[in-house]
Structures are given as C-alpha cells and as structure tokens.
Amino acid sequence: MANKFSFQVIESRQMDHLKVFHDVARALTSTLELETILLAIMDKMAGFFGPERWSLLMVDENTNELYYEIAVGEQAERLKGLRVKMGESVAGWVAETGNPLVVPDVMLDPHWSEFARKHPELRINSMACVPIRSNGKTLGVLQILNSKLDLMSEYSISFLRILCDYAAIAIQNANSMKLIHLLSITDDCTGLFNARHLYSLMEECVLRSKASGGEEFSLLFFDLDRFKSVNDKHGHLVGSRLLAEVGEMIRQRIGRGCSAFRYGGDEFVVLMPGTGKDEAVGLAKKLFTGLQETRFLESEALSLRLTGSFGLATFPEDGKSVHEMLQAADAMMYEVKKTTRNNLAVMGVGLMPGMSPPAGLVGGMHPPMDGARPS
C-alpha cells in the first residue's frame, strides 16, 4: 500500500513537470517576445524550486559583462542596475567557465561558508547557478538562492538544466529575429541604415512632434559632387569602397540620437530628432568640413578629396509630413547642385555664406591638395 502511494506521488509529480515543459514549449511557439517567454520560463522555475530570491543575468557582448534582465525577491531593484564582470562573483565564474555551481548548504562548504559569514545581510543558505548556453557559448546565467528543494538531487539539477535549455532557445530565436530585422534596415555597402528605415523613423518623429505639441526635428540631404567620375575612372568596386568610407566618416561625426542613412546611389541622409534649425546647421557644417578634410581610399593608393552638395530642412517649419520634409531637404540639395556645388542650402535661408572651399578644392573629386603623389 505504501509503495502504491509512493508511486502515485511520483507519478503525479512527473505529470506536473510534464505540464511545465508543455507550457514552456507553448510559450516558445506562441510569441517571439523574449521578455514574455523568459518570464514564463522563470515563473515555472520559481514554482518548482520555491526560491526566496532568484535572478536571470544576460551577457552583454559589447562589454563582456552580465546584467540583471530579471530579478525577483529582496534587493531586486538594486540588482537591476548592477553589472557583473566575467569571471567575478558566482555568476561571473559560471558564465566564464560554462560550468554550473550548486551549493546546497553554504555553511558546510569550505569555500562559501566564509563568504556567508562575512555577508550575513545576504542571508544565503543555499545557491544554484546554472549557465544558459547554446552552441558552446554562454548567453546568460540563472541564479537561485535558498530553494525549498534539495538542490543536489539529480532530478532537480536535470529539471533546472532543461529550463535553461528552453531559455537558450528563446534567446537564440530573439537574437536571430534582431539580426534579421537589422539586416532588413541596413545598407549592405555602407553599413548605414537604408531608406526604408528612414521613412519609419521619420514617421515616429512626426507622431512624437504632434504628441508633444511641436517638437522639432531636422533632415539633412547630401550627395557627392561628380561621384560618377570615380566609377568611370576607377571602377564600381572602388566606388563602392569609397561610399563605405564616406559612411564611416558620417557615422563618426553625427551626434548621439542622430541616425545616418544611405538614401540611394551616392545620396546620404542624416535625421536629427529634437534638433532645431540652428543646431542642425552646426552639424551640417561639421559633416561638410569632414567630407572636405578626409582623404578617402588611401588603402587604394588614391587619397581622394571629396566635396558634396548639402540641403537642410526642419520640421514643422519647412514641412508638415514625411513627404514634405523629404521634398524640402531634397530641393535644397539640388539648389546647391545647380548653382555652386560644394555648399549647404537651408530651407528658408538659402545658400550659406562663408562656406567656400579651400584653395584648389572645387566641387568634385580631387587628388591630394599638397601636390604629392597619391600615397
């Protein structure tokens, strides 16, 4: 009779856990929202282990640090602002080595008992820290403290690993979707955003302006003067590399919050949210000067100097919609092209004075100004 009861308890427990896996799998297939899926997985984990505190840390690949994506329990708010370096603390060690760490009783562990005594305010009785890995790479770390279950049981560890595997699938799916989205809005040649993304961000700027009662934003159009001569003289591959270097020059000079786009051919656009006309003129002059002063294609032994025709418009003064703003900035750019080239025209102002080129540098493509042989 006792054996039958024991079997029924085990069978009931296994059914509960199968339901957990079913619910998690359903969450994975019902949405691509990473936060929603991770919360579902972690909720099942918390229900199984009953920890006093738990957290999910994710790897920031840019800084090679861990940050708290989810934290539940005492001091959760404080943890969310912290960063953990790889190799440091329990989570950092687990992330770096890829090995789980399970301590069922910290006071009985010679390595952790001293730490627990030095930090009684943390009230750590037991801990489990398991890496979330995919294709040999650590994506994050799951950390639970003071679980109600026997953390050393093979069943408990297996259950925790399976949940971490589900989390890894969710993270990988989310990363793949981010990459696909990034590729869809990025220009292959320059690495800048493409025109499709420009329209999307401009729509957001227009909506934000209407909601805020008239927040300004500015749009800068420019193209390279006589760029066709580069392709004619050096070929399209060299021309493509030149466009890529121009894109990098733009990226290095635009301010925080601004976005740069390759609009098509040798035309570029800079979107400046929350930027009025005076400030936008300053950034336009910065790019104007940067284009003149940079020597392009030095790796090709050409060391070319370029000029461009720039046009600037500001919302809502110069246009009340995305289409009107694009038309206004484009019209100013063509005003420069049909007159002087190598200048900036601002809607409502006209051609900017005092922007004449250095001696010997007239709109177009030029060898080194010092007369030296191309290096």
Instruction: Pull the structure tokens for residue 182.
Output: 């990034």
Distance CA 211, CA 200 (A): 17
Tell me which range, 85-94, 96-105, 129-138, 266-275, is most confidently predicted by mean pLDDT: 266-275
**Is 92 a residue whose pLDDT tops 70?**
yes
Residues of the chain with CATH 3.30.70.270: 195-366
Q: What is the CATH number of domain 2-184?
A: 3.30.450.40
Strand 65-72 relative to strand 53-60, pairing: antiparallel
Residue 218, token pair as written in the block: 């500015």
| 373, pLDDT greater than 60 | no
Q: Residue range 138-167: average pLDDT?
A: 80
User: Looking at residue 366, what is its pLDDT?
Assistant: 56
**What's the rounded Cα separation, in Å, for the pair 221 and 164?**
48
DSSP code for 265: T
Q: CATH 3.30.450.40: which residues of the chain?
A: 2-184
CB neighbour list of residue 341: distance below 8 Å, 6 or more residues apart: 225, 226, 307, 309, 362, 363, 364
Q: What is the per-residue DSSP string for 91-126?
A: HHHHHHH---EEES-GGG-TTTHHHHHH-GGG--S-
In this prediction, residue 294 carries a pLDDT of 93
pLDDT digits (tens, 9 = 90+) for 26-43: 666 666 677 777 887 778
Of 73-77, 165-169, 355-359, give the lowest mean pLDDT range.
355-359
pLDDT of residue 146: 85
Asked if 317 and 277 touch (Cβ cutoff 8 Å), the reply is: yes
What is the maximal distance between C-alpha atoms in the chain? 102
Q: What is the pLDDT of residue 266?
A: 95
Nearest-angstrom CA–CA distance, 89 and 96: 11
Q: Is the dihedral of CA 238, 190, 334, 358 positive or negative?
A: negative
DSSP element (H, E) containing 263: strand 259-264
Is residue 318's pLDDT more than 50? yes
**What percent of the chain lies above the pLDDT cut of 70?**
84
pLDDT (mean) for 92-117: 82
Q: Which CATH architecture has domain 195-366?
A: 2-Layer Sandwich (3.30)
Residue-wise burial string across 90-128, b where 16 or more C-beta atoms lie within 10 A, e elsewhere: bbbbbbbeeebbbbbebeeeeebeeebeeeeeeebebbb
308 compared with 78, residue with greater pLDDT: 308
pLDDT tens, position by position, 187-215: 999 999 999 999 999 999 999 999 988 89
pTM of structure? 0.71
pLDDT tier for residue 149 given thresholds of 50, 70 and 90: low
The pLDDT score that the predictor gives to residue 7 is 45
Instruction: State the Cα–Cα distance between residues 368 and 375, nearest whole angstrom.
Output: 9
Going by C-alpha positions, the residue among 169, 174, 172, 166 that lies closest to residue 22 is 166
For position 244, what pLDDT does the model report?
96
Arithmetic mean of pLDDT over the chain: 83
Dist. CA 306–CA 53, nearest whole Å: 60
* Edge-to-edge strands, sheet with 83-85: 83-85, 65-72, 53-60, 137-145, 127-134, 101-103
pLDDT tens digits along 236-271: 999 999 999 999 999 999 988 999 999 999 999 999
- Predicted confidence at residue 10, as pLDDT, reads 47
